[in-house]
Amino acid sequence: MPTIKIYDPALCCATGVCGPSVDPELTRVATTIFLLEKKGIDITRYNLGSEPQAFIDETNIQDLLNTKGTDTLPAVMVDGEVKLVGRYPTNEEFAKWAHISVSELTKKEAKSKGIELL
């Protein structure tokens, strides 16, 4: 089982639904992370604004920030190796790292007559 860690820039919230407008990319990433967690994937997300110690504790991330600054965020580590800097992973990348099909990260339309819970 892979370990995926995402190091976000300072954000007011990770979902993208705060502030004056919704950020669809943050919403996609939050949904994908939720779906991966439901599948038992070890995935953790850190926010520079509220969890700076995580950035200090991870030498690879600290080195990135010291040499290239916060423009390298978001950064993604998989099994202790930096895999991506400066953008969020696509669903295809998430699926590859989690060893699952990308179709498992697509929310399926459910036919229901009531409230749908994730």
Instruction: Tell me the pLDDT tens digit for each residue of 27-60.
Output: 899 999 999 999 999 999 999 999 999 999 999 9
Both tokens of 20, joined, read: 């004056």
What's the token pair of residue 13?
A: 């919230």
Maximal C-alpha separation, the chain: 54
- Look at residues 3, 2, 4, 7 and name the one whose alpha carbon lies nearest to residue 56: 7
The pTM assigned to this predicted structure is: 0.84
What is the pLDDT at residue 17?
A: 64
Per-residue model confidence (pLDDT) at position 24 = 87
What whole-number distance in Å separates Cα of residue 19 and Cα of residue 64? 28
